[in-house]
Chains A and B, each alone.
Chain A
Amino acid sequence: MREPEKIDAEIIKDHGLTVEEYEKIKKALKREPNFTELGIFSVMWSEHCSYKSSKLILKKFPTKGSNILVEAGKENAGVVDIGDGLAVVFKMESHNHPSAIEPFQGAATGVGGIIRDIFTMGARPVLLMDSLRFGPVSDPKSRYLLRGVVGGIAFYGNCIGIPTVGGETFFDESYKGNPLVNVLCLGIVKKNSIIKAKAEGEGNTIFYVGSSTGRDGLGGASFASRELTDESHKDRPSVQIGDPFMEKLLLEATLELIRTGVVVGMQDMGAAGLTSSTVETASRGNSGAQIDISRVPRREKGMIPYEVMLSESQERMLVVVKKNKEEEAKKIFKKWDLNAVPIGKVTSDGVFKVKEGEKVVASIPVKSLTDDAPIYLRERAKPKYLEEANNLDLSSLPLPENIEKVFVKILSSPNISSKRWIFEQYDHMVGTNTILLPGHDSAVVRVKETRKAIAVSCDGNGRYCYLDPYEGGKIAVAEAARNVVCVGAKPLAITNCLNFGTPTDPEIFWQFTKCVEGIAIACRELETPVTGGNVSFYNENPQGAIDPTPIVGMLGLINDFSFLCTPWFKKEGDLIILLGNGEKSIGGSEYLQCIHQLKKGRPPELDLTTEKLLQKTCLELIKKGLVNSAHDVSDGGLAICLAECCILNRENLIGATINLERDIDEREDILLFGEVQSQIILSCSPQNFPYIEKIANKNKISLKLLGKVGGENLIIKKEGKVLISKNIKEIHKIWENSLVKEIKI
């Protein structure tokens, strides 16, 4: 690359900066920027790094809580106290754009990036999870993306040795060409060993550690801050290449280094690489920084300062080491055969100064790049599609002639059927902590040397959010919380990934705002503060924006893992109980999409007060050891939930007979497949039933006896009339093999 002689309007536009923003740069510098400086401003002020469109809205999130050790936005990930002197560090991040054009490496580097965010805080990563969204499996391009993304996650996670313990995958037309790849990483750290991403203490040394710098990923932050087009494949060079082996060395060396006590602060060189890591750490430390880029290890010749500063080569970190302790740090990195080069010093003048040898190539006030970056309150307008979309005329929907056929079709829908083909490609057991294998409501890992276990669930329903972003946002939090409750964990806090279209479109920004408001109110009500996360805008392909898709990653804590509760039925003769009594809706349901090809109506209503009581009741029942299983009623409705309870443990398939007496729902399709909030299916020994009833009554949560576990069939009757009667082995086979069959077309 050659440096242009003059910065003209076109160059400014290519950097994604507006005329007003350029004027703001000139004002901050009190002069014209040079090309390197322009590059630095453009990435630091990109949506990806600055959150300029979302910042004001995100303020609606509750961020405080008695066990929140580091508040959202203060560091690279949230930190939650779990007792025993330990804390959980966790965060979720998207890598949607790179995965759209280079699925394998895009997803792989997404995994690599979020892992670095966790271990740079001193925590050992113990689990990974993924929320994935693709176009329909019937579409060959979507299958290509699915294979690539899953392969990339497996490649990175398996090699670095962090188990991918769960997640969710959903297929819908709106994600065609714009898949979502949201990765959650969670680590555990001793409370007194948390490392901050801060550069402070004048004279302390700034180290560059890890891979050498190349031209890969140049401008990735800006690439992520625009829409995907038919020309986007040309941006393929913007996608970085992952090296999980290098990162494994970085991870081990970093944790070893932290134990020596010489580290002041550190940060991953993620989006905007060397620039953002230096600037953000200096900003948090209210310091300045001076670096000499002639010392930066490079893998390509002839790179100009602009390229060095904007490269997004992977597996690199910035480490600030106490002065006079440099040799100690070098020794550890040498043991792990890693580059570790002192490239500069922390200063006290608040200026970010970049030199190449003796020559100053950039000199910018730190705060102008961070705190003083532009912030916008974008225009909002209620989307025009909503009126039509919300209007679902039930009478126009024909009742299915054969309800059992409908059941089988929903069971085999890629959104409902087993995701074994995906999770068996991930090493989900390394670490020997996984005490609930993937494929369930939550992932559960125990914490060695304690009795505790961590439960995590990722949830977010794009269809609901499309039809009602506020309710959809609420539901995302409530479902994720309910999922961790069903394994016996108390919900503590959330992280999130907010995936939306282009924020300058008022209708998109309205969706975004409503979703955030929904998440915020649910988090407040359920007392699960937001600890951080990420916003991904510009998720649009030439056909339009994706459905608004906020993904919530819920952290739950089990105090004694011997009380772990699993979702599957266990014993012949156990009673089956429906806890909770929400209003069913087929709006936005899998049934409506799968059978009638409609994305219409309104999502089920969620009453947060009831939800909270329901969760409290369920937890109490589990902790008292009164129930043998718990599974929440979710996508696909009651019939699918019951089927899952029968088949989720494939070592022990077990039938059930259900009698739905005098249900007020008149339509059978709504009764069986209508989706609902605040309902959980439990099973228990008959002698425990009176105690369960008592606790439910005390908490004012409704409870209904549905039937009995046992036999080789799942039989669902309504007032004596058999609606579904199917062999459990057959149900299992259909559910287990459907996705694989479709993928292998």
Chain B
Amino acid sequence: MTPTQKGYAPNLTVFKKSLKAASVETSIENLISLLKRRQIKNSRPCAMATAELLRIVVARDRWTDLGKLIAHIQDVGRRLVEAQPRELAVGNIVRRVLGMIRDEGNEDRKNEGSDSGSATGSPQLEFSIPAPTTTKRPPSSSLRFASTDGVHFTEDRPTTRPPLMTSHTSYAVANNVPVQQSMFNLLSATGSPNLTPSGANSPHGDSTPHPFALSEKMINSTKDLRAEVVNGIEEILDELEQVDDQIAAYALEHIHSNEVILTHSSSVTVYKFLLKAADKRKFTVIIAESYPNDHEETHLAVMGKMKDPESEEEDKETYLKSLQAAGITVILVTDASIFAIMSRVNKVILATHAVIANGGLVAAAGARIIARAAKAHRTPVIVLSGVYKLSPEHPFEFESLIEYGDPGSIVGYEDGTLVEKMEVDNPLYDYVPPDLVDLYITNLGSHAPSYLYRIVADHYKPEDVNFNNPELLF
């Protein structure tokens, strides 16, 4: 972002390169310090770095069963989140990976279950309550259970992964429906065999019963699982790379001819969205410069010097097509004129840093002023956000999400006499409450703020939501 980051200072590109040579533990420490020093910052780089790191962890680490892997990922995730708790994307990626591993585990066990024709006896599906509806497990199954035990799920789970004994988590895991069925928990006969996972395709081709191939499968399955999980993480990385283009695909539904769009700061997501709409439509974009933290980039963007994020990979800078070249009329305004100009605006499009489960968002400072002004003028506010920015964390205190930056960009240090006499705050982010937002556009489509909780529930498993908060883990 700042010029100093180029050249010798380590950034995402440098970190990615270092991953190839360094050991797992060094890489973890490396990323922690990069996050702490803010040398990797903003949602997308943080998310990518986290996913890259977890891929290395899964691929290189010695793990024999998924329980241990989950515990290890939780541990790494916890350290990363502690390093930079305000980069919610880090925690989101960790949760996604954890959820994926759990899915793999479920599918794997289901395969075995279908092999032996009975409910599996894995720890996650074992319950403290004797259930009258439990059908007798055929004797072969107990044998199988004992034999596969060491491979996938050990009984003595590590302490960092507390037992999933509450009925609702096990039930939810089993059915892949996180929230909905929870009301039956009160009465449910947990532990009945009918709670085994249902539906979903098997990751392995051989879902047909293979009682004799079992032993062979056990040897292969760790390797298979490792490949599956690494594949899954690569899918997440792909998603992170494509997310802006996917969001941009919805542009034509939302931007119409001769509209006046207001946005602020320099966001690649918004920029690509506008460019996409400009393919077919002519419209005007008003950009608030977002002084003092992002005005230089915003000015560059208006001048047609918006850096293409993908160009970072090849160490040479390429720029996105300029808005003017795409046929858009661009007007740059100061932040002070936002309210004045709002009466002429048809739509506000905001980029975001993170979106939280209640439908509110954390965005570059100034976003709340714009959203309030838009509310006052009844102007619709659209927020563009990749799903990876959606955090299941519920902010108990919004102030804790706001990061404060260098006050020197407001009052320069050369102005020493002034700095000594007053306190200068430079918040980098704003919290925008859900009632100021009309629509979210993610790579999955458009959603009302009140519906976001559902998207969140679809993406993260309930038992992973509080992975960094052991007190709420059960």
- Please indicate whether A and B come from the same complex rather than being unrelated chains: no
A residues with CB within 8 A of B: none
B residues with CB within 8 A of A: none
